[in-house]
Chain A
Amino acid sequence: MRWVLRNLVGVSALSLGLAACNSERLEELDEIRATDYKTTDVYANFCTSDASAVKSKLKFIFVLDKSGSNQGTATELGTDPDGSRRYDAIMHFLDQSVIPDPTISYALVNFSTNASRPGNDRFIDKAAFETKVINQKFESGCVYADKYDSGCPADGGWTNYLNAYSVVNELIAHDIQQAKDNLDEIESSSYVVFFVTDGAPITGGTPGNYIYQSTSDILGAVRGLKGLETLGENEPYVDIIQVHSLFYYNQVGDPAAETLLEQVADEGEGDFYSVSAGELIDFTRFGVPIREVKRVLRDVFVQNTNTTWENGLLKADSDGDTLSDVTEERLGSDPSVADTDGNGVDDGVEYRTNGKPCKDLLCRPGSFAEPYSSCTSFGDLDSDRLNDCEERVALDSYQSRWDSNSDWIPDGLAFAMYLAYSGNAEGSLDPDGDLVSTYQEVKDNTPPLFPNGSIVGLKQAKYFLTVESDDRIRTCYKLQVKDLAMRSDSKGNVMADLIRIWVVENTAVIDNKSFLKIAEKRVDPNGNGAITFERGDFQ
């Protein structure tokens, strides 16, 4: 009884589709009735990526106090008259890394009264220091960079914390921008700031009547530094920004300054140390970011790029541009070429953003014209199978984030399922009211925008996942997906469909980063219809 009812609903849905069709579409309907699907079984062996496989850079930024109290006065002993406490500590830290690591770099920001005045530095090996403390040719904000090779000074006078933080902020922002300008790949960095001072944040006044920078302003500036982690589209480029603080003194400490520096470290997710006279500054005591963290599997999706859902009907899409062959014939674009007019933006993207698959009415190739001439890059920076031009100019999603709306459905897959790829996450919604969430429907390869119950003979992809091995480096899985819908030719044979597997991983610990890797393979129509992916197939 229930079956009959469903069947009836299915028939009415089908005839609804028929009413709006021309004869071409009628033909196609015969081909794509759900009951006539061919299916394939997909097998895959894959592992989570090794942590070390991903490039991640690390920059140490030493922020050193050069205020007059280092030199001392006739009546008061300096905290570091010859610079040995501060600068030898840096040399010692640099010497820790015996093997040169191109992913690690160093920068120096001197601050306070004497920051921009040459001299008052002490280097055991000045040449070695300058070789190691690189990245000093930083133009913006560092006005003295060319003049003084010992670092980027923040000379706000006195012991101006805020001035120092603003220079650090500019330095990091500049670094991030450089990474963003690289459209070939995404390189992320960790930034570790060592803030080293011997005094409270004083910007003027006289003994007993000093002018202090407020705690809230200082903590706000540190928050501002941390804020660079997520500002704009920074996220893919920044792993973590950490601010450590260190207070050094002679005989008498300064509890107020030390409390403040402890708060700075807390705000900056760093450590705080206090170093008294005779004690060496040791930068290795600070906890620094760990760049190699194991991944855990978040989810895996299997997609047939040569089928596409249209109003509850699964249709052939020979060129994988998300427009079915029949629709392309109706619209005048070439069903076998994903980007008919060759303007760098696929027919499906153009159709959904402009209402037509090509700029040119006749879909002539080579009409490389507006609005896409503003694109300079047609690569796919985030590897989500939507190119940078499509994402930036047409779709308004992020070219550097494969999951622009953080719903854990990769943009290219969301696009192929006619879902929101940017804006609000909609994975947990169920717009078609069939009690299966959008997210789950993407995974099952059922239509998220059409009630499953109304489709006769709907087949959903069934996943079977087992753990093969698990250790510190990686976890390996064996995946079997049964009943993935396929195209078939007029004789009912399966065709050479391109099957794509999306593996989504994340680090649940340390930095909450997510990663995507993809494998693609064509079904061999002459084989047994099944397809097997091996570990090496995943990029």
Chain B
Amino acid sequence: MAGPMSKIRIALALLGTAVVLSACTEEQIMPLDIQRATIAAPTTANLLIKNYCPRTGFRYLDFWGHALSYKISSSQILVDTDRDGLANVQETDPSLGINYLRADTNEDGYSDLLVYLAGFTLEAQSHLRFCAAADQDSDFDGLTDCEEQTITHTDPFKFDTDQDGIPDGIEIRKSMNPLDGADKDQNPSGDGITNISKVKQNLPIYETVTDDVKAFAFQYAITSTEVNGQTCFNLRINNIPLVEVTSGNAVRLMFMERQTSSDRYALKSKDYLIESLTRGIDAYEVQYEQGADAEWSVYQ
């Protein structure tokens, strides 16, 4: 019973590989991203965020990239077309009423991910509290206020309720507990990589990571630079696996800051689409934009 030595596999579109669509709408009939096939090594991309400067009065705390277009499970890369945190193959149970093209299939403010994680049947979903503002996510943590109030019981205005450094929405995507700060340092699968490291590297939590899987870990590099006399940073994520997915490869970037003079924490979350698969360039460069204050979620 040696460990599984199977190569990591990557999901391929059923129909050809020539066309990569940048957007996926309901009307289009999409090839099923459900089919899986083995390839030796997927294309990877490097991403460089240039000139990231913490906001005035805040200092750099952490920077994360979260892969939205796939997840790794059972030593396979599984495509997630609607980026809801569930692989397409997980969205096939008819009793749940979810599908792989829409993140919140019935638009009730409770995403497919939570429906799946909770095991809600369609009948059970009809008993959920009515959600007046289905899109409202006050703290930008990736969970709607309704989800936080009714289902996860996290704080809708605090992006990291248990203050373990992992935003609530990411904990839910990883099946971690957003109400328990101790789980960040644990390692249920016994491979020596703590949960928080796995989350940052986009590795599965409840599975022992083999070297084959580890080869697809996000790699971070940070270098400081000076912009107008201020200490700023160039943030780099290398080795982002790219999958053949009709909706394009998306990565959620999260910038976390802490106020220098108090215990206030700030989060900015932004999704990027890596549209081109052009080879031969070192990194896709993105100029960092601080954005208006309204783009930041702050809690004390």
Interface residues of A (CB under 8 A from B): 41, 43, 51, 269-271, 285, 287-290, 292-294, 296-300, 407-408, 425, 427-428, 437, 439-440, 443, 462-468, 470-473, 475, 477, 480-481, 506-512
Contacts and interface: CB of A to CB of B under 8 A. Distances in A.
A265 to B, nearest CB: 9
Given A285-B130, A294-B118, A464-B3, 13 more contacts: A51-B119, A287-B130, A293-B118, A293-B119, A294-B117, A299-B188, A466-B207, A467-B204, A471-B93, A472-B121, A509-B172, A510-B118, A510-B153
A427 B182 contact: yes
Given A287-B129, A296-B117, A408-B182, A508 B172 contact: yes
B129 to A, nearest CB: 3
B235 interface: no
A194 to B, nearest CB: 14
B179 interface: yes
Count class of interface residues, chain B: 35 or more
A53 B75 CA distance: 30
Interface stretch (B33-41, B59-67, B144-152): B144-152
Contacts of A465: 188-190, 206-208
A465 B206 CA distance: 7
A462 B190 contact: yes
Given A297-B206, A467-B206, A472-B95, A509 B118 contact: yes
B185 A428 contact: yes
B188 A294 contact: no
A296 B119 CA distance: 11
A288 B175 CA distance: 24
A332 B190 CA distance: 39
B1 A43 contact: yes
A463 B189 contact: yes
Given A271-B129, A299-B188, A509 B73 contact: no
B182 A425 contact: yes
Contacts of B119: 51, 292-294, 472-473
B130 to A, nearest CB: 6
Interface of B: 1, 3-4, 73-75, 90, 93, 95-96, 114, 116-121, 124, 127-130, 149-153, 171-172, 175-180, 182-183, 185-191, 204, 206-208
A298 B177 contact: yes
A437 B129 contact: no
Nearest to A289: B127
Contacts of A507: 118
- The B interface, classified by DSSP as helix, strand, loop or mixed, is loop
Nearest to A287: B129
A420 to B, nearest CB: 14
B149 A269 contact: yes
Given A271-B129, A300-B188, A510 B151 contact: yes
Contacts of A511: 153
B208 A287 contact: no
Contacts of A299: 186, 188
Contacts of B128: 287, 290
A467 B1 contact: no
Contacts of B90: 470-471
B153 A512 contact: yes
20 contacts: A43-B1, A269-B129, A293-B119, A296-B117, A296-B175, A297-B188, A297-B206, A443-B190, A463-B190, A463-B191, A465-B206, A466-B74, A470-B73, A472-B121, A506-B177, A508-B175, A508-B177, A510-B151, A510-B153, A512-B179
A480 B2 CA distance: 10
A68 B95 CA distance: 48
Nearest to B189: A465
A290 B128 CA distance: 8
B218 to A, nearest CB: 21
A443 B188 CA distance: 9
Contacts of B121: 472
A506 B175 CA distance: 10
Nearest to B93: A472
Nearest to B113: A509
A78 to B, nearest CB: 29
Given A51-B119, A471-B93, A270 B129 contact: yes
A511 B118 CA distance: 10
Contacts of A290: 118, 120, 124, 127-128
A539 to B, nearest CB: 20
Contacts of A41: 1
